[in-house]
Structure 1
Amino acid sequence: MRQFFIFIKCELGRTYEVAAEIVDSLAETRQVHSVSGAYDLLAQFAVEKEADIGRFVNTKVQTISGIKDTQTLICFNAFTSDKGLGEA
């Protein structure tokens, strides 16, 4: 699995609605957090190794009503108790 995070900026007053839609409609969602700063949400996703992350973001996330902007962070490695030897 490939892990990645997306910072999401929502239309005013729609953050909770957008978060619920992400959790309810995208099976690839691992967690969604409300955050402070330039973005409203930080969402974690996991897709199959051969998946096109750009296409996933473009067609599944950015098309959700209430989303104004996104910034995607692709993970290289997950450092865990197994010393980061597991797959990210």
Structure 2
Amino acid sequence: MKPVFLQLQCTPGKTYEVADTLFQREIVSELYSTSGEFDLLAKIYIAEDQDIGKFIASNVLDIPNIVRSLTTLTFTAF
């Protein structure tokens, strides 16, 4: 499994609804509310053979009230 960090910008006032939906889908390992340009930071583990873009598009970005996303791939954990 490879870790992927996903920052999500939500429609104002809808962050908690987006967070609830992510947890209901059981796809996030960790989920944090954040300050700044994005509202949520999610850590997701994706299978090595899974296409990251397709996974995020079909499992995350179809959630209502997500306005924008930023995906970060990691190399080494220290």
Which category of TM-score, normalised to the shorter sequence, fits these structures? over 0.9
Deviations 1:46-81 (A, max 9, x none): 0111111111111111110110000000111221xx
* Aligned positions of 1:1-88 closer than 5 A: 1-25=1-25, 27-79=26-78
What letter matches 1:10 in structure 2? C
Q: Report 1 or 2 for greater relative contact order, CA contacts < 8 Å, sequence distance ≥ 6.
A: 2
Deviation, 1:28, is 2.9
TM-score normalised by structure 1 residue count: 0.84
Question: What's the secondary structure of 1:46's corresponding residue?
Answer: strand
CA-atom RMSD in angstroms: 0.8
Q: Give the Cα–Cα distance (whole angstroms) in 2 for the partners of residues 15 and 51 of structure 1.
A: 27
What letter matches 1:41 in structure 2? L
TM-score normalised by structure 2 residue count: 0.94
Identical-residue share of aligned pairs (%):
35
Greater CA radius of gyration, 1 or 2? 1
